[in-house]
Structure 1
Amino acid sequence: MHRVGYFLPENYQVMAMGTQSVFEIANIVAREQVYQVIDYSLAGGPVRSSLGTAVLTEKATETTLADTWMICGVVSPLSAPHSQAEMDFIQAAARSSRRLAGLCTGAFALGDAGLLDGRRATTHWAFADALRARYPRAQVEEDRIFIVDGEIWTSAGLTAAMDLSLAMVEKDLGHKIASSVAHALVMHYRRAGGQSQHSEMLHLGAKSNRIQSALDYARKNLAQPITVDDLARAVHLSPRQFSRVFQSETGHSPRKAIEQMRLEEARNMIERGRHSLEIVARETGFRDRKHLREVFVRGYGITPQVLRRERRAPTRRTGSVESADRKTQV
């Protein structure tokens, strides 16, 4: 049985507890208790969350053992330093466990314990600059969902910890069970660690179900030619009415929005490093590799090849384990 210990500081961010559902559902899908989840704190007893609710915990000492430690963050990580007792415990936990994760702003606790020196790490985007300033020897990458650097895992803010936990299940039990867990949790899709915290789907900010449905349709069909007529037909609007409503709700033309979605998906595929650029271009709806490069440079200021080299380099270093014409194609 794999023992998962949650270390809860006072006023821990309550969303961290939601990740325990990932291990709960993994046990159900696997039809055996693969994971045993236990809550700990320095003093033991009830610990209050950021919401004010209390969780009963067991007392953690430097000899408390777990295969995985989940170090939960707090809402305001800059307001109070971590105590020496906390640092001693986290350092001991890192030495005795198979892996240790800083959830959201839990990365600050890992940094105070000296566990981020020379490592890649991430945290909630709002605290990335502060993390970088406090721990200059860490390589902070704020635009990541989660990062695995050896035995140290860190996640971006809030729901990104769900993706980190699901990745742990996949590493332990395989892709099939992890996919079943995601399906049971009604997670829209399982995000890879390299994926950006800032999704184009969120940036577009559709206000109505119709426009959101159009965006969903586009996302599922990026590899195919998509016209304004196609999108309008999918949501039962005339092309003219659709274009007007889409621009009003998102601030972008349909053509520009789809290009940005294709670009984001291409970036995710490149960062995962599993496909050639020819396949990336084909799967994301670009005409060819040259067209992908042109749009990529215009959007990100670097070529796809440079991005791929940048993402591969840290892995090798650390050994660690994302219109005028309505008929015009968008």
Structure 2
Amino acid sequence: MVAKVALVIFPQFNVLDLSVATVLGIANHYAPDTYALDIVSMSGGIVHSMSGVGVDTKKFDAQRYDTIIVGSMPGVPTPAADLVARLRVALTESRRVASICTGAFILGAAGAFDGREVTTHWGYTNELINKLPGAKVVPERMFVRDGHVWSSAGMTAGTDLILSMVEADVGSHVAKMICKTMVLSHRRQGGQSQFSVLDDIDPKHERIRQALAFIRDNLSESLTVELLADQVNWSPRHFSRAFKAETGLSPAKVIEKLRVTAAKNLIESGHSSASRIAVQTGFGDEARMRRAFLRELSDVPQKILKGARARKASLAL
């Protein structure tokens, strides 16, 4: 049976929300007749995005949908009463509802997140906590699923949310084929942080950038200063001084931070073997990984793994 999906948009919506249409369209290529998408608004007709692109929409009426996805707009939206009423009905009729970025404020006004976990763009976390006191706001997460209610962070995180929905519906093979078609290196998991270690390390020198890229792509290897210096044709001494000057950290500290981030993402993505993750991310053994986690996160891998398993078990119910 074809699943009817509604993407709800508003004037000044974020045009990246239309990635929903791209993902579902490609899903239909690999799994024919899986989805039928309506792009809807409360008034119907042409709705213009914040970039000026106009989209023809259907009126968001009483039609039942399998899945309803509430799009985003700049700032903190104040939803109209008729939209909130329509979404309240959808919560009881639809198999699944979701928000992208600031759409969480709109779906939340309908009570979707009462007693549930929710996330949004990191810049609006405090406002969401104030607006939805009954919700369990989860800062930094890429996307969150709590029962039949989903929410994502901003911008491209909506694509990760939709890909995860497709994977839940028709399997990981189709989701992987969509990623390949869209030339995405991978689908980011919901447990991943919205932030990256490399976002905070922004060296100006091209050779330091090259070294950071090499570290990121070779975390499982033995990354010595000598090896890194050789990659950029510098002496080890000059490399160490330049790296510290550009990043504010020693090469060893940056390597540890990147390894901890990679290992944490693997754990939260559902990988079950901490020992295997330790090897895969270059720690070598669980003891070294545990010490690094305590230094960087003040937490231990087993506790994070236990939480990931509990979330996975709750989603299977």
Q: What's the TM-score once normalised by structure 2's chain length?
A: 0.90
Query: Which residue among 251, 266, 270 is the counterpart of 1:269?
Result: 266
Partner of residue 46, structure 1: 46
| CA distance 1:248–1:19, shift in 2 (3 Å) | farther
Query: Which residue among 147, 151, 158 is the counterpart of 1:150?
Result: 147
| Residue correspondence of structure 1 range 2-41 to structure 2 within 5 A | 2-28=3-29, 30=30, 32-41=32-41
Secondary structure of 2:99's partner?
Answer: strand
Distance 1:277 1:31 in 2: 35
Report how far residue 155 of structure 1 moved: 0.2
Q: What is the one-letter code of the residue matched to 1:272?
A: S
Whether the 8 Å CA contact 1:27–1:33 is kept in 2: the answer is yes
Higher relative contact order (CA 8 A, sep 6+): 1
Q: What is the one-letter code of the residue matched to 1:60?
A: F
Report how far residue 207 of structure 1 moved: 4.3
Report how far residue 124 of structure 1 moved: 0.3
1:74 lines up with 2:91 in the alignment? no
Report how far residue 202 of structure 1 moved: 2.3
| CA distance 1:82–1:166, shift in 2 (3 Å) | same
Partner of residue 60, structure 2: 60
1:138 lines up with 2:135 in the alignment? yes
| CA distance 1:305–1:96, shift in 2 (3 Å) | same
Secondary structure of 1:166's partner?
Answer: helix
Distance 1:9 1:193 in 2: 26
Report how far residue 219 of structure 1 moved: 2.5
Secondary structure of 1:286's partner?
Answer: coil
Distance 2:69 2:176 in 1: 22
Whether the 8 Å CA contact 1:124–1:157 is kept in 2: the answer is yes
Distance 2:241 2:185 in 1: 28
Whether the 8 Å CA contact 1:144–1:195 is kept in 2: the answer is yes
Q: Mean alpha-carbon deviation: is it higher for 122-131 or for 93-102?
A: 93-102
- RMSD in angstroms over aligned alpha carbons? 2.2
Partner of residue 223, structure 1: 220
Secondary structure of 1:320's partner?
Answer: helix
1:220-256 CA-to-partner distances (Å, cap 9, x unmatched) read 3222211123233344554445444433443332211
Distance 1:243 1:205 in 2: 16
Query: Which residue among 283, 298, 303 is the counterpart of 2:300?
Result: 303
Q: What's the TM-score once normalised by structure 1's chain length?
A: 0.87
Query: Which residue among 202, 207, 210 is the counterpart of 1:205?
Result: 202
Distance 2:233 2:86 in 1: 59
Whether the 8 Å CA contact 2:121–2:140 is kept in 1: the answer is no
| CA distance 1:194–1:127, shift in 2 (3 Å) | same
| CA distance 1:177–1:246, shift in 2 (3 Å) | farther
Partner of residue 113, structure 1: 110
Report how far residue 206 of structure 1 moved: 4.6
Percent of pairs with identical residues: 37
How many residues get paired? 315
Query: Which residue among 174, 189, 192 is the counterpart of 2:189?
Result: 192
Report how far residue 33 of structure 1 moved: 4.1
Q: Which blocks of at least 5 consecutive residues in structure 1 are unaligned?
A: 322-330
1:291 lines up with 2:288 in the alignment? yes
Q: Mean alpha-carbon deviation: is it higher for 103-112 or for 198-207?
A: 198-207
1:196-234 CA-to-partner distances (Å, cap 9, x unmatched) read 111113222354665444333322322221112323334
| CA distance 1:241–1:67, shift in 2 (3 Å) | farther
Whether the 8 Å CA contact 2:144–2:152 is kept in 1: the answer is yes
| CA distance 1:44–1:166, shift in 2 (3 Å) | same
Whether the 8 Å CA contact 1:194–1:268 is kept in 2: the answer is yes
Q: Which blocks of at least 5 consecutive residues in structure 2 are unaligned?
A: none
Distance 2:233 2:35 in 1: 47
Distance 1:103 1:26 in 2: 19
| CA distance 1:238–1:174, shift in 2 (3 Å) | farther
Distance 2:206 2:182 in 1: 22
Distance 2:194 2:258 in 1: 14
1:169 lines up with 2:166 in the alignment? yes
Partner of residue 128, structure 1: 125
